[in-house]
């Protein structure tokens, strides 16, 4: 019988790849209008290892978000945060697919609020894909315009619900205190979105008490800003 001999380097690599050795990092969303660079991520370049978690934290009371606009092939979800408005608002994500990730703050993209994250090692040319949030937003706007007449017939519904985009999916996590739900949604034709895992803010007044992880749900989205969507209605799927 052959014996499997594990050398010290092999054992070390296996341990480093385990969840117990995963690290957590923080990137701050900074507003400094009086400074030379008014809006920026700190740091705006970071290298981590697969399995590590990065938290994007709002450093002050101002509006920021995080959108990953270029990701390695193999990432099958859109990575984007809810809008951060209060100091301390946080969005965390665990990166498992190696490669290059590029992100920006949508409200301050034109002012240079961008960053790059390397997981393991940088991607080679052709190994990344663009996540076109702008195109998705335009598709949503077009869908909303084409649905205006149909929505106008539902006078007995609140405007936010009557004009909403309908979706289905499975709940991963519910945070009533933050007013967010993390859901793996099915393809949303009206937005041109494939099946993805996303975190959404929930509009005030929406009841989350009966929703828990693992539930299949039907929910309604409305736009909030150019590239952000909030849940205005959510129920368990029958």
Do 137 and 120 lie in a common domain?
A: no
| Distance (Å, whole) CA 176 – CA 56 | 20
Q: What pLDDT shows up at residue 216? A: 96
Residue 9 lies in a domain: no
Do 125 and 189 lie in a common domain?
A: no
Do 125 and 142 lie in a common domain?
A: no
Of 102, 130, 158, the position where a domain reaches its end is 130
CB 133 within 8 A of CB 106: yes
Residue 14: is it exposed, middle or buried by C-beta count within 10 angstroms (0-12/13-18/19+)?
Answer: exposed
Residue 230 lies in a domain: yes
Do 144 and 114 lie in a common domain?
A: no
Residue 3 lies in a domain: no
Q: What pLDDT shows up at residue 1? A: 55
Q: What pLDDT shows up at residue 23? A: 95
Residue 189 lies in a domain: yes
Q: What pLDDT shows up at residue 223? A: 86
Of 84, 101, 130, the position where a domain reaches its end is 130
SS3 232: strand
- As for how many domains the chain has, the answer is 2
Do 85 and 149 lie in a common domain?
A: no
Residue 11 lies in a domain: no
Q: pLDDT tens, position by position, for the chain (238 residues)?
A: 555 555 565 555 555 555 568 899 999 999 987 778 889 999 999 999 999 999 999 999 888 999 999 999 999 888 888 888 899 999 999 999 999 999 999 888 888 999 999 999 999 999 999 886 555 444 444 544 544 443 343 334 444 455 688 999 999 999 998 899 988 888 888 776 767 777 888 999 999 999 999 999 999 999 886 667 899 999 999 7
Do 152 and 109 lie in a common domain?
A: no
Do 64 and 168 lie in a common domain?
A: no
Of 80, 102, 130, the position where a domain reaches its end is 130
Full domain range(s) for residue 102: 17-130
Residue 119 lies in a domain: yes
Residue 172 lies in a domain: yes
- Tell me the whole-structure pTM to 2 decimals: 0.56
Do 148 and 223 lie in a common domain?
A: yes
Pairing of the two strands 114-119 and 99-104: antiparallel
Do 81 and 160 lie in a common domain?
A: no
| Domain harbouring 182, CATH code | 2.40.50.320
Q: What is the DSSP letter of 20?
A: G
Residue 167 lies in a domain: yes
Do 37 and 93 lie in a common domain?
A: yes
Do 169 and 191 lie in a common domain?
A: yes
| Domain harbouring 75, CATH code | 2.60.40.420
Q: What pLDDT shows up at residue 83? A: 84
| Cα–Cα distance list, 156 to 151, 152, 161, 203 (Å) | 11, 10, 10, 19
Do 197 and 111 lie in a common domain?
A: no
């Amino acid at each position: 019988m052959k014996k499997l001999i594990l050398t010290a380097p092999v054992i070390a690599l296996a341990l480093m790849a385990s969840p117990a050795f995963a690290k957590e990092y923080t990137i701050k969303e900074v507003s400094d209008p009086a400074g030379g660079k008014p809006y920026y991520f700190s740091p705006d370049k970071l290298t981590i290892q697969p399995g590590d978690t990065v938290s994007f934290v709002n450093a002050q009371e101002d509006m920021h978000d995080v959108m990953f606009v270029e990701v390695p092939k193999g990432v099958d979800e859109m990575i984007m945060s809810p809008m951060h408005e209060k100091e301390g608002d946080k969005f965390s994500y665990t990166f498992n697919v190696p490669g290059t990730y590029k992100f920006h703050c949508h409200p301050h993209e034109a002012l240079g609020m961008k960053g790059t994250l390397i997981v393991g090692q940088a991607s080679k040319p052709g190994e990344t894909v663009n996540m076109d949030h702008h195109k998705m937003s335009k598709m949503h706007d077009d869908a909303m315009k084409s649905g205006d007449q149909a929505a106008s017939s539902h006078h007995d519904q609140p405007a936010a619900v009557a004009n909403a985009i309908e979706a289905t999916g499975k709940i991963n996590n519910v945070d009533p205190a933050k007013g967010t739900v993390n859901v793996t949604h099915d393809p949303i034709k009206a937005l041109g979105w494939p099946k993805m895992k996303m975190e959404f803010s929930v509009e005030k007044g929406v009841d989350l008490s009966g929703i828990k992880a693992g539930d299949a749900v039907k929910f309604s989205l409305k736009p909030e800003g150019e590239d952000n969507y909030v849940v205005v209605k959510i129920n368990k799927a029958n």
